[in-house]
A and B are shown apart, each in its own frame.
Chain A
Amino acid sequence: MNHMDEGLLQAYADEELAGHARTTVEGHLGTCLSCHAELDELRSASEELTRGLLLLSDPQAEIDQYAVGWPRRPGAKRLTRMAALPRAAVLVLALGTAAAAMIPGSPVYRLINPAPRAAQVESAAPPSAAQPIATSTAAAAAAAPAEAGVSIEPLNGEVRVVLRAGSELRVRASIASSPRAGVFATGAAAQARFDASPGRIEVTGAESGDLRIEMPRGAVTTVMVNGRDYLRSTDGEIQLFAPADSRADAEVTFHP
């Protein structure tokens, strides 16, 4: 088996791959521990850089971050995410052009490619949901949009996510190692409207389905739901202002 070269893995980690290239890497990662390890190393280095740069820009703020125990030894906590990958290899979701068209030409640098979320969608979606999960690349080409989303970079270290959402919506907000903040919708929520501007993502009309919010560890992210502050992540810690369905260290799920 040919291993993936570091450049390809890096491009995968940075969400620069789409379509066939992405599924090829994912398929390989699902079976190859050595490439997993390589990807982990790249991600650790990336986290180390992000953390270091934050420190340079704001030495004082970082002292608190230290106190809450940001992992100093990189790589120790990364396995959970990777463990979900093997099944993703056979699941391909199609991203519709309709979703792309809803996003205005503001500082949205990319539309997130749906493939990497496949494993999560698989476990989260009820079997009957009108969610086009295709089981082969060929079938995926004909499928309707199943995931839409935007990502932005924080503005002055801050991100605001504003949701106008129905109570049928499931929201999962988690701390992510990426320097960018993102909101990704699957199922019916993929039809919602996404607007992005510097430091701010607005999602309107997400009535049901699943929404995932990625909050960069290095930024302060405030999530506002239907007009009130719902939660805030600061230095990798999540502070809740409203009831949640479940909460773990770096992740909260709730219904608006």
Chain B
Amino acid sequence: MRAFTLSESDSRTGSFSSVYRTLHPSLLRYLERLTGEKDAAEDVAQEAFMRLLQRPELTDEAARLWLFTVATNLVRDRGRAATRQSRLLKTSPVPIPTSEPLPDAVAERADEVARVRRALDLLSERDRQILLMRQEGFRYGEIAQSVDVSASSVGTLIARALKRFASAYRTGEVS
């Protein structure tokens, strides 16, 4: 696990560590859900925070939106298709002991996790982004800025994305 090295001369240093503490858990959770990959999520989060260090003029509130937007773009740049492809080849996300019989609850859980992941993967990148940003507490105005649509259309985008998720989750297909 890499650590941040913050130099004394850094103009943002003082508030940066508190911004980092406040935002990192949320950003990491967002990225893990977005990419489905812990390692990729951690890399992207680190990279996004490194870039934030170069934007000392941003207020904390603006930094939050900026950070998530930049991180989302980084994920896109890394080529999601490739990472998703490799992930789909992997087995269950829940570590399962092979020697013992599988408890029903655990097996069911693993199946559920896979279904959720698959439903998310069936959505478009934008649908995934807006649903996950909403989940992290971003307001419509912020989501609009991040995905570059008008604020008045965010409700509709979320409603449709939610329905697509629900359909994908229940049936395994996007309606």
Q: Are B156 and A5 neighbours in the complex by a CB distance under 8 Å?
A: yes
- Residues of B close to A45: CB separation below 8 A: 162-163, 165-166
Indicate if the CB atoms of B131 and A49 lie closer than 8 Å: yes
Q: Is A225 an interface residue (CB 8 A)?
A: no
| Bound CA–CA A67/B105 (angstroms) | 9
Interface positions, chain B 112-139, Cβ under 8 Å from A, are 112-113, 115-117, 119-120, 131-132, 134-139
Q: How far is the CB of B73 from chain A (nearest CB, A)?
A: 22
A57 and B165 contact, CB distance less than 8 A: no
Cα A63 to Cα B109 with chains together (Å) = 7
Residues of chain A within 8 A (CB-CB) of B139 are 16, 109-110
Report the minimal beta-carbon distance from B137 to chain A, rounded to whole angstroms: 4
A14: which of B109, B120, B158, B166 is its contact (CB, 8 Å)?
B158
Contact call B162/A42, Cβ cutoff below 8 A: yes
Which B residues from 3 to 36 make CB contacts under 8 A with A?
A: 22, 25-26, 29, 32-33
Complex interface bits, B70-106 against A, C-beta within 8 A gives 1, otherwise 0: 0000000000000000000000011000000000011
Q: Which size bracket describes the interface of B in this complex? A: 35 or more
Cβ of B110: which chain A residues have Cβ within 8 Å of it?
A: 59
B109, A7: Cβ atoms closer than 8 Å: no
Q: Is A46 at the interface (CB under 8 A from chain B)? A: yes
A62:B159 contact, CB within 8 angstroms: no
How many Å from the CB of A133 to the closest CB on chain B? 28
User: Contacting B160 at CB < 8 Å: which of A6, A59, A62, A107?
Assistant: A6
Counted as pairs of residues, one from A and one from B, with CB atoms less than 8 Å apart, the total is 109
Are the C-beta atoms of B169 and A48 separated by less than 8 Å?
yes
Residue A9 CB within 8 A of the other chain: yes
When distances are taken between beta carbons in the complex, the residues of chain A under 8 Å from B165 are 45, 48-49, 52
- B33 and A198 contacting across the interface, CB-CB below 8 Å: no
Inter-chain contact B117/A56, CB cutoff 8 Å: yes
What distance in Å separates the Cβ of B172 from its nearest Cβ neighbour in chain A?
13
B66 within 8 A of A: no
Contact with B106, one of A52, A57, A63 (Cβ below 8 angstroms): A63
B interface residues with partner A (beta carbon < 8 Å): 22, 25-26, 29, 32-33, 61, 93-94, 105-106, 108-110, 112-113, 115-117, 119-120, 131-132, 134-140, 152-160, 162-163, 165-166, 169
Q: Which residues of A contact B (CB under 8 A)?
A: 5-11, 14, 16, 41-42, 44-46, 48-50, 52-53, 55-57, 59-60, 62-63, 66-67, 74, 105, 107, 109-110, 152-153, 155-156, 179-180, 198
26 contacts between A and B (CB under 8 A): A6-B155, A6-B159, A7-B153, A7-B154, A7-B159, A9-B155, A10-B156, A11-B154, A14-B155, A16-B155, A42-B163, A45-B162, A45-B165, A46-B162, A48-B169, A50-B135, A53-B132, A55-B112, A56-B116, A56-B117, A57-B32, A59-B109, A59-B110, A59-B113, A107-B22, A155-B25
